[in-house]
Structure 1
Amino acid sequence: MMEKTAIVTGASTGFGMLSVIELALNGFSVMATMRDLNKAEALLTMAKEKSVADFIRVKELDVTSSESIDKFKNVLFALSSVDVLVNNAGVAVGGFSEELSLEDYRKQFETNFFGVIAVTNAVLPFMRANGRGRIINISSISGRFGFPGLSAYSASKHALEGYSESLRLELKPFKIDVSLIEPGSYQTNIWTSVDALAVNPDSPYASYMKSILKEIESGKEDYGNPIEVAKLVAQVASQPKSPKLRYLIGKSVKSNLFLKSILPWENLEAFIIKKLSDKHHLK
């Protein structure tokens, strides 16, 4: 039986690290990539605990660096095949649009969008040569539903959604599947990053940001276990039939998107603003 190879970006923590482990447990030889190899210890320790260390190789990859991408391409030639790519590397830039610089937006897109394209384009020639492949892009509910204070992050994920739809149609004739996994609130993402969303007391948006942070804090008990997302990644990578385009996962994400699909936007925004105002005295 031919060995199958999976590549995971952003593998040092969170969804990426857990996806590496789950893919290895499902029989894949996994190339775990990360920008800083000094952060590989947690992954390697977990791999030993799960008895899958022999199936995991750690490689340096900065998805925002052309030089790093070129080195990554050279590494690919040594692989017997490239069967699955999990584009997980991502950053979160929080803040209100007026107070963010264009550089903040560019930083957000360099990793979450352009980085995905760069790694995908590096891998595609190998998948086409094999006549098969699966690309799994880790998106977010924020790619389907905007939220105040997250315009940069949400915009980058919306862009990823559109790119993935087009890419799926482009690659279908080559038997290469493209899927999006869209998590809600989990213990590893933007919602738990204090640095990403900070209150500037001199900002005209200070009370608004406080309301948002309190709303996020009050919902932490409902955050999902990130292993759920990692298991879904392994499932999509391993299933014999062609996977779907989108996989929603997390508490309330399906109901929230259903409401967005049936309610006029005016009603939806009134509900969100009222919820923040009533609970946290937003003015």
Structure 2
Amino acid sequence: MNKVILITGASSGIGKAIGEFLHQKGFTVYGTSRNPEKISNSVFPLLALDVRNVESIKAAVAEVIKLSGRIDVLVNNAGVGITGPLEEIPTEEIKANFETNFFGPIEVMKAVLPHMREQKSGLVINITSIAGYMGLPYRSVYSASKGALSIITEALRMEVKSFGIEITDIAPGDFATNIAAGRYHAPVIAGSAYEVPYDNTLKMMDTHVDSGSNPQEMALAVYAIIQEPKPKVHYKVGAFMQKFSIVLKRILPDKVYEQLLMNHYKL
């Protein structure tokens, strides 16, 4: 049977790459965007959905069920970046980031899971981040929101396994997308105690994104997971050293690992 795929945040970047690849493979793909009317070049249907708005989530899920009768795979991809010294990031921006990166995906899962339970089958793939495995300087909020989603994935997969539903996550490293343009940057404040190290770190982060991997790698990873009858708990996709950093964190003493990060960021 032709599987029905719902992908949040599918108008650009990783979400778009996943949607286009799965569409080419013959799946029935529905993507979502906050403003689908502004997108004219999508090869698959784009539905209006804002992960911060529960009613828009329910409406989009209901539309997919109306059109195709089921949802076999949810790819929870919508997310935003955020950078800055924690002391200088406005609290409302921290809350807004968690609304999109953490609470939003939870609300989408809450809307989709009852349909999967009724089908007695389904797969949820949460897009997290390698940054979620460690606290990164000037990316504290992003690391925390993605790390929280990863932990939710671990817990939820045990809660729904008896219903025939599989939950997993993919943690990407740096990919060549437009995430840097869309993320919230706390401004570099002249005279701030963080002015020089934050400015240098910001430039380094933008360079990493610009020289990042092809989003097609994420599309291939999602496709491979869909074929797996029993997906793993976590997957990592990205450059070798980015994935290896997770291994190092697991085996090195905390202070040694911290010093490696500080050396990398020249702090």
Q: Relative to 1, partners in 2 of residues 1:100 and 1:146: Cα closer, same or farther, differing over 3 Å?
A: same
* Residue aligning to 1:180: 169
Unaligned runs of 5+ in 1: 48-55
* Residue aligning to 2:257: 268
Q: Relative to 1, partners in 2 of residues 1:169 and 1:175: Cα closer, same or farther, differing over 3 Å?
A: same
Distance 2:108 2:221 in 1: 21
Q: Please tell me whether residue 102 in structure 1 is matched to residue 101 in structure 2.
A: no
Deviation at 1:96, TM superposition (A): 1.1
**Residue type of the partner of 2:4?**
T
Deviating more after overlay: 262-271 vs 217-226: 217-226
Spell out, residue by residue over 1:159-189, the C-alpha distance to the aligned partner (whole angstroms, 9 max, x if none): 1011000111111111111111011111126
Superposition pairs for residues 29-40 of structure 1, below 5 Å? Answer: 29-40=28-39
Larger Rg: 1
Q: 1:74 aligns with which of 32, 37, 62?
A: 62
Q: Relative to 1, partners in 2 of residues 1:140 and 1:194: Cα closer, same or farther, differing over 3 Å?
A: closer
Query: How much identity, in percent, do the aligned residues show?
Result: 38
Alpha-carbon RMSD across the aligned residues, in angstroms, is 2.0
- Deviant stretches of 4+, over 4 Å: 189-195, 217-222
**Residue type of the partner of 1:151?**
S
* Residue aligning to 1:157: 146
Contact 1:33 1:61 in 2 (8 A): yes
Superposition pairs for residues 161-172 of structure 1, below 5 Å? Answer: 161-172=150-161
* Residue aligning to 2:5: 6
Deviation at 1:235, TM superposition (A): 1.8
Deviating more after overlay: 88-97 vs 186-195: 186-195
Q: 1:87 aligns with which of 76, 84, 105?
A: 76
Q: 1:65 aligns with which of 25, 39, 53?
A: 53
Distance 2:256 2:84 in 1: 24
Deviating more after overlay: 217-226 vs 239-248: 217-226
Length, aligned pairs only: 265
Q: Relative to 1, partners in 2 of residues 1:125 and 1:194: Cα closer, same or farther, differing over 3 Å?
A: closer
* Residue aligning to 1:253: 242
Deviation at 1:199, TM superposition (A): 2.2
Spell out, residue by residue over 1:249-281, the C-alpha distance to the aligned partner (whole angstroms, 9 max, x if none): 11112211111111111111122223433xxxx
**Residue type of the partner of 2:27?**
F
Q: Relative to 1, partners in 2 of residues 1:221 and 1:102: Cα closer, same or farther, differing over 3 Å?
A: closer
Distance 1:26 1:104 in 2: 39
Q: Please tell me whether residue 235 in structure 1 is matched to residue 234 in structure 2.
A: no
Contact 1:185 1:191 in 2 (8 A): no
Q: Relative to 1, partners in 2 of residues 1:195 and 1:77: Cα closer, same or farther, differing over 3 Å?
A: closer
Contact 2:9 2:15 in 1 (8 A): yes
Contact 2:128 2:150 in 1 (8 A): yes
Contact 1:89 1:112 in 2 (8 A): yes
**Residue type of the partner of 2:256?**
N
Deviation at 1:222, TM superposition (A): 4.8
**Residue type of the partner of 2:238?**
G
Secondary structure class of the residue paired with 1:90: coil
Q: Relative to 1, partners in 2 of residues 1:32 and 1:194: Cα closer, same or farther, differing over 3 Å?
A: closer
Tell me the TM-score normalised to structure 1 length.
Answer: 0.87
